Structure 1
Amino acid sequence: MAHTSEEVFEKVQEALVDALGVDDEEVTPEATLVGDLGAESIDFLDIVFKLEKAFNIQIPREELSPEDILTNSQYVQDGKVTPEGLTELKRRMPWADLSKFEENPRVQDFGDLLTVQDMCRYVESKIGS
């Protein structure tokens, strides 16, 4: 069953409101999950569960959170993701807008990267709408 972008956004918004206890109007496409909406790592399990249920999809943890890249000395030096690491992140996360992260690719800032729009694009890539 195909979903429009609006339907995807509404379901993602609903999942985030439920999981994070934020108001609908706070969940805008540009809002970052961690910085703006206050998501913590434990919340991501809840968000993933709600999205899997809402869209009847499977979300492998490593697709949303590429910890193996961020903890690999081949891809990280002095607390920053290397150009090779950025290439690998882009390959693994084609739905995420990494342009802002590329300006200053500090590992500790990676969590602040994901926006509501990125989540919508990710879901759309999984449901093939």
Structure 2
Amino acid sequence: MSRLAEFRQLEQKLAQQLAELEQLKGSSELKKEIEFEEKLRDLLNKYGFSLRDIINILDPQSNRRAAPAVAEKTPRRARQIKQYKNPNNGEIIETKGGNHKLLKEWKAQYGSDVVESWVS
């Protein structure tokens, strides 16, 4: 799109938004809401309350819903020791995880499914 076409399109959108803004300014509903907000803020200042105080007065349960419940942390279950026995050469490996050097070599050579079948 050329810069001129882009400029004209943006200009048209701006004119449309300005028309909507003027329409809103004349709205009696908007005037009522603005008046209500001003009176509410004046009242809050007069009595020294904040919006959060008012929410707590009107709905005391609101802060309980907002805070996520903290679950008790349970310790992890210890890993079980697995014993692999290579039927080809009789070697035995005992490990709790899959990060054992020889176990990785076996899985690369024979395949993971085959090596997992060697668990005794």
TM-score w.r.t. the length of structure 2 is: 0.20
What's the TM-score, normalizing by structure 1? 0.19
The structure number with the bigger radius of gyration is 2
